[in-house]
Amino acid sequence: MIRCQSELFQSSVKLVDGLKMNTKEDLKQMAKILLLSVPTKLRKDEYAEFLAGAVLTCPDMWLSRLTQYELTLLDKLVKAGADTYVETTNSFVMSTLEILSFVAADTYHFEESKVRYMICDELREAVAPYLNNYLTSEKQAIRFMVEQYAYGIINLYGYLSYFDLLSMLIDYLPDSVTRNEITDSLANSALIQRLTFEAVDGYNSTICIQSPFLEDLDGLEERIYARREITNRKKFSKEEVFAAGMMPLVVIPNPCWDELKEYMMKKLRYTE
């Protein structure tokens, strides 16, 4: 991720310069997320140069894997033009664009719960012809919907197996999309891919997906094991699941909110 003060970043910077700030392992993970083929035997700087070239010449390969929020942000950055920041609400969770070093984030406004992004000129020019098609595509609209429900489920439960996530999505969306559309949407989501990991238990392994808001996976696993007699997960409504997958901010239901609000208004004299 590229973080800087406003005056320290200009859009004329080259994409490869941002990529070179990452380790080679990070760059390899980027290429995997974007489905871009890069020779692995290259030295780090050569790898970054090859990856930057692939990103700029094949935007149609990776744009279709971004979330609706990320594509909308790119669209705003394209329309904003050179050396211009776009301000958004800070979610305290990095987007794929930030992880890939595709945008520079102005850190000056973090304390105000705001973040400002800028994109380099060559990347802005590369993606500009494609964004409208992806944002208005019916196929992408299906992926956006499935992706938000999937993200909501992951955020509400902390982590779960890929099979359980797929089963829940089929249960939540029986009339909206087909099973194949759900599996294709998950497979073509950069967000879901970077949250996926392999859990190994002895000789067995399970593909799992973890929420970026989950800080203590081991602790959650211990609490689940301590209550292993509970076989059914708490059931959330479609509205709650969809809200919990909202980007950049998520709304996770909490029964204590009303009590906390009442306490703050009565005891601390906070206004509504």
Q: Mind listing the pLDDT tens digit for each residue in 12-68?
A: 889 999 899 899 999 999 999 999 999 989 999 999 999 999 999 999 999 999 999
- pLDDT, one tens digit per residue, over 104-157 is 887 665 556 678 888 999 999 999 999 999 999 999 999 999 999 999 999 999
Closest by CA to 139, choosing from 195, 109, 177, is 177
> What does DSSP assign to residue 270?
-
| Structural tokens at position 162 | 């890929």
Residues in the chain: 272
Do 168 and 154 contact (CB within 8 A), yes or no? no
More confident residue, 191 or 107: 191
Whole-number Å distance between alpha carbons of 89 and 91: 6
Whole-number Å distance between alpha carbons of 42 and 23: 13
HSE value, Cβ hemisphere, 13 Å, CA-based, for 192 = 28
More confident residue, 184 or 217: 184
- pLDDT, one tens digit per residue, over 201-236 is 778 889 999 999 888 888 888 888 888 888 888 889
More confident residue, 4 or 237: 237
Domain 138-244, CATH number (from 1.10.40, 1.10.10, 3.40.50, 2.60.40) = 1.10.10
Closest by CA to 20, choosing from 94, 74, 99, 101, is 101
- pLDDT, one tens digit per residue, over 257-272 is 778 888 888 888 888 7
| Structural tokens at position 141 | 């609209």
Whole-number Å distance between alpha carbons of 72 and 62: 15
Whole-number Å distance between alpha carbons of 119 and 104: 6
Task: Indicate where the chain has its CATH 1.10.10 domain(s).
Answer: 138-244
Do 118 and 9 contact (CB within 8 A), yes or no? yes
